[in-house]
Structure 1
């Protein structure tokens, strides 16, 4: 929806005295011009400029007062409460408005957007430069030929600075699209045998993980035949589609108690479709279903399949991820403003109607599905793939969904401390190819990350699991180690601070580090000592039995770990509903207060970037998190909460 269809007039409370110009301080400064862009000329002072001032949101610093030791625990918010709580305060609106009016911008020229995130006015370039103590230049994208207006820095009054998020036009130039959008990918190989001789046997779990192995590893009991119709497990998919024939083959061989034809409930977004003929089946979607159903059935699965084929397949290139899904489960996100962006980004996200051949020609779907209590997501990328402002706005949405009672779990990645090879460098690392590459949106403080574990050869369930480290060719054609590390965008959240501090104190990694993204790579540092650590938890993710495209295969990846842990949480929510309680929402504050409810993983590492990566350790670590689920203990913890 266009910006000005949402505008209405703004009533101002104007103070008598103008702010002194000497009070101006630098609000944003760009270190240099990206190589793709060329500064061409100063902007003519008479040129028209639409100035948009993004207003700072309220109360984000106290969003998670509702943890396990708070009397507010379990008192989830309505969407209306979320919007009103985080909307810019009256003080913020008044402070910015007064500054503009006292600087000579007539009150009648100002509009405040209905989504509350912006104050907007038309100006000449000269007036905008005077207001912001800056100089605007024209820039040209040397590759695409597109043009943009931007400044190298701008200033605002110090007394107003805390009320302002971003100003546009500001220092940001449009993000240069990358050709390959990273996604969590399973590791696949075809074993010599067709299927396990005895699907219920636990003697070969070190060779093949079956539903029986998963249940034994995590002490998951059989499900009750009586389940709540409202407690469906949500699974996200993009560009990968399940086949019913594969599900039926799996059920027949491993879970005959699940009827043939059992399938997920469709929640298709912006032209998505599923299932597909078996020869086109994706290993990712098949895997998610085949791991989740044995744990939760007769609970159901809701499939959030996103985007039409043009966008989902990459035929139309986009680098953005998850925004169309978030639009569909929360209509307010379609116009939500934060960090200088309002609504979806036309340079990064799919645009609907899609008038390309076979495209979805309807309008962007906003708020058409109620989010399930638990959502499992086995996809993502790296922080370096997208602008920080894009990720921060999205991270706020995960926070808000958690406050409304939805638990969201993400796969931590399959490349250890690196990203996918060839993404940001030949080895998937940053800087000169030695700096660790944190994953997106895993580093967001408001999601729960799931790393991968395995049973090493000749180890039994009683021996316990280790973190996955699979070199090239053993058994997959590419290396696989569980993703983990520290964010370059987000600082350590309060709920995690003690666990991270203990890790550094008792198990200090043998690598130089930097402190904050502003000192990226300083003194040879290869990871951010002050960043949010991930993963938070783990589950088995190697040698997984699967049927795909009509054949028996074996899979590995944190893509497998995530639906396992998500299914455990969905089972626990079911027990809470039966006890007259509600869903769990954001899980991490409770998990970090109760590490005894998880199986601690103390063997393994997550190599990458020419290093052995981080190492597991007693307690939390950036390889396996707090550990794998112990169903009875987790159930006791969560049932004891209000």
Structure 2
């Protein structure tokens, strides 16, 4: 028994082709999916040989997807009587699993069509049926014609049809079928373009190395001094900014998670940092390794990455003696040598085994055209299977990576965002950095400028920070001449001051997601009292209409902010500075970890999804009213009183946040 392969395609010229003709439309059949436009990069070839084996997967319609938001608000909103009553993973699976009526109807249809019950596999998460079938069987089942497609690069082959049909009484039970309009690919070669900046090649990365290294004998040697925080942010500056006390707790099970990919920590830099700034942290302190799909760390000091060292050198001084858990993702091939277009699915696979085969929004499992495939076909690549459900997610996870919203299919994003909703239901907090290019995206993603539209004037939101079920973190800065006892300003630096390229905290409005219920009042106030001076459009369907440069109806970014400029770090054995929203995110995540320590000590649950509580209690934040985030031939948005698409609700005030969260059940 073999699946659809290049060899099978090559043999197609020598085999006769059989298949049921597509019937004329009757009352009992209807087109379920039809390709609306031809694939621009795929060439349609001959019919697939009738005896070619195809792996068929039928995504069953999920129950209650439309109720997911309300479920999450029920356990996350401070006014809910069920606040903090998080669900188990089994309860989540059961709530969204297809109805028994759906399962029975689709199975009966398959059996009546000649697919014996013994061939049908029902997934553990109940979301899909799978079976192998000859091409002629699939064509008869779906009243379709299957052709081979060859990619223009010559290294990928796919099976697909232009349309397929289902009985009308079955349509309501099926999301989609593969192979169908959506292709299944079998062989491919990844791009050999190497990441030019430490971290993911297409994404939110730290600012990288500064324009100059600090000279020997740099004068700021008093690790407790707050006099120079406008020039260099040390652990003492961070604690003073947000009134963070010295932590004394390390509750088992409350370790903080940090995500890394294509960027690796080295122990020497951590030890140099501990020796200089936190002598109370023992030399050799390191994260617990939760390595995913062949990832490895640490590395030699010369290979240490700016993102990893930044994250850990910011988090440890706040959470110690609590520990860090490192989710290092992907083998070297996919992380650095052959970076993929997709992002995050293999990470979520490792946290939730059901996600590996979860069907939602016309996507099931990892996308074969966008995500890594394991075992890795590259020489020397990780030969293990894709890791599914091998690690329990920590209560809080900090993630300083991402890419432009425009770069990935909307259904890909929605399926992933729905997973954050499911994990939020289970009490986990995910924080993502908003990006470092103001109202634009990372240059080279959607466009060379990182801005959208023919003139590069339309603002470019980011992913996955656009998901309304994660906490989006922007960056602030202590401006020269100001102190840690004053409100900060939005991080916004011109090129060469001190970074080689311009840097501005990212913010704006999603083109994929509408403003969630917990955010609507804040956005309404913002537009009523501080209306931006730009034309806008309403919804992605009217993208760019009337010269609009942002989506007036979109989910607002960021939610909160923290310091992300002039951060003191040790990198590659040198004392230097770094920054970005990549720095702000682990700071905020560390604060939530401390709050969980106090709640757990009282026998309460972790805070879980924090956005509804923060938007309902903006008094726990320090409002930021100075600064902006320019890009895309504009001055960007401005920081104003209340929520804004520059710094969100503002920066944390630890005592107030603790008071609020401890007051909740």
Q: Does 1:78 align with 2:88?
A: yes
Work out which of the residue numbers 183, 202, 224 in structure 1 matches 2:203. 183
Q: Does 1:336 align with 2:358?
A: yes
Q: Does 1:388 align with 2:410?
A: yes
- The CA deviation at 1:465 is 0.8
Aligned pair in 2 of structure 1 residues 562, 98: CA closer, same or farther (>3 Å)? same
Q: Does 1:431 align with 2:453?
A: yes
Distance in 1 separating the partners of 2:101 and 2:524:
37
Aligned pair in 2 of structure 1 residues 106, 131: CA closer, same or farther (>3 Å)? closer
Q: Which moved more, 1:560-569 or 1:632-641?
A: 632-641
Q: Does 1:576 align with 2:584?
A: no
In the alignment, is the contact (CA less than 8 A) between 1:168 and 1:340 conserved in 2? no
Work out which of the residue numbers 189, 193, 200 in structure 1 matches 2:224. 200
Distance in 2 separating the partners of 1:49 and 1:359:
26
Correspondence 1:127-146 to 2 at 5 A = 139-144=149-154, 146=156
Correspondence 1:474-489 to 2 at 5 A = 474-489=497-512
**Map of 1:278 onto structure 2:** 301
Correspondence 1:310-459 to 2 at 5 A = 310-312=333-335, 314-354=336-376, 356-432=378-454, 433-459=456-482
Distance in 2 separating the partners of 1:365 and 1:44:
33
**Map of 1:166 onto structure 2:** 176
C-alpha offsets along residues 31-72 of structure 1, whole Å, 9 cap, x if unaligned? Answer: 523432334567799998765432222223233121222222
SS in 2 for 1:634: helix
Work out which of the residue numbers 56, 67, 71 in structure 2 matches 1:63. 71
Distance in 2 separating the partners of 1:119 and 1:197:
63
In the alignment, is the contact (CA less than 8 A) between 1:195 and 1:552 conserved in 2? no
Work out which of the residue numbers 251, 263, 270 in structure 2 matches 1:228. 251
Work out which of the residue numbers 616, 625, 650 in structure 2 matches 1:593. 616
- The CA deviation at 1:549 is 0.6
In the alignment, is the contact (CA less than 8 A) between 1:240 and 1:285 conserved in 2? yes
SS in 1 for 2:227: coil
C-alpha offsets along residues 272-324 of structure 1, whole Å, 9 cap, x if unaligned? Answer: 22221211111111111110111111111111112222222x22332222222
- The CA deviation at 1:506 is 2.3
Distance in 1 separating the partners of 2:58 and 2:530:
45
Distance in 2 separating the partners of 1:240 and 1:166:
37
Aligned pair in 2 of structure 1 residues 169, 230: CA closer, same or farther (>3 Å)? closer
Distance in 2 separating the partners of 1:371 and 1:450:
20
Aligned pair in 2 of structure 1 residues 602, 29: CA closer, same or farther (>3 Å)? farther
- The CA deviation at 1:147 is 3.7
**Map of 2:16 onto structure 1:** none
Aligned pair in 2 of structure 1 residues 50, 215: CA closer, same or farther (>3 Å)? closer
In the alignment, is the contact (CA less than 8 A) between 2:410 and 2:512 conserved in 1? yes
Distance in 1 separating the partners of 2:550 and 2:100:
40
Q: Does 1:639 align with 2:648?
A: no
Aligned pair in 2 of structure 1 residues 589, 153: CA closer, same or farther (>3 Å)? farther
Q: Which moved more, 1:171-180 or 1:295-304?
A: 171-180
Q: Does 1:618 align with 2:641?
A: yes
**Map of 1:105 onto structure 2:** 113
TM-score by length of 1: 0.88
Aligned pair in 2 of structure 1 residues 639, 169: CA closer, same or farther (>3 Å)? same
The gaps in structure 2 that reach 5 residues or longer are 5-24, 196-200
Distance in 2 separating the partners of 1:523 and 1:173:
36
Distance in 1 separating the partners of 2:169 and 2:518:
31
Aligned pair in 2 of structure 1 residues 29, 633: CA closer, same or farther (>3 Å)? farther
Distance in 1 separating the partners of 2:147 and 2:293:
38
**Map of 2:37 onto structure 1:** 32
Q: Which moved more, 1:380-389 or 1:240-249?
A: 380-389
**Map of 1:305 onto structure 2:** 328
**Map of 2:58 onto structure 1:** 53
**RMSD (Å) for aligned C-alpha atoms:** 3.1
Distance in 1 separating the partners of 2:127 and 2:623:
44
Q: Which moved more, 1:136-145 or 1:610-619?
A: 136-145
TM-score by length of 2: 0.86
- The CA deviation at 1:195 is 5.9
Aligned pair in 2 of structure 1 residues 184, 543: CA closer, same or farther (>3 Å)? same
Distance in 1 separating the partners of 2:302 and 2:265:
10
